[in-house]
Amino acid sequence: MQGPKIIRDVKGFVRDTLGCSCPDEVFERIDYRPQAHVPGVAGALSRILVGDRLLVYVLFADDPRLIAHNLDVVLAQGKQERDACGYNRLRTVVVTQEVGPIERLVESKFRNQAAVDAHTYIHVVSANPVLDK
């Protein structure tokens, strides 16, 4: 996947796709950056901040090598930002065309990641229902 990707419905994505049970008032303030920049990350990346509580980084990729590299960098950066800014949770999402094989890779990388704690979550989702066409 190349270039910026636009999430169709940010609130629906966070609530329905990621399973966030944040109260409605948290969604009154959403900072969505479809083109986020994290040094060392190659490829498309978005950043979502919901109600100054929930930080979500979204990687868009299909190449397992790119995902493996980017995941390490994004998890470390996300945890650092979450902790420095006092956010409650970090959710990292990989949006891909091939969920099955990518999910196994991502879950393995996630389990072996030093940046993972009880307030860090990982998700792998299909690009089809999430992105604007």
Residue 112 has pLDDT above 90, yes or no: no
pLDDT digit string, tens, across residues 22-75: 889 999 999 999 999 999 998 899 999 999 999 999 999 999 999 999 999 999
Q: Where are the domains of the chain?
A: 10-126
HEC-encoded secondary structure of the chain: CCCCCCECCHHHHHHHHCCCCCCHHHHHCEEEECCCCCCCCCCEEEEEEECCCEEEEEEECCCHHHHHHHHHHHHHHHHHHHHHHCCCEEEEEEEECCHHHHHHHHHHHHHCCCCCCCCEEEEEEECCCCECC
pTM over 0.85: yes
pLDDT digit string, tens, across residues 1-17: 444 578 888 999 999 99
Comparing 9 with 131, the larger pLDDT belongs to 9
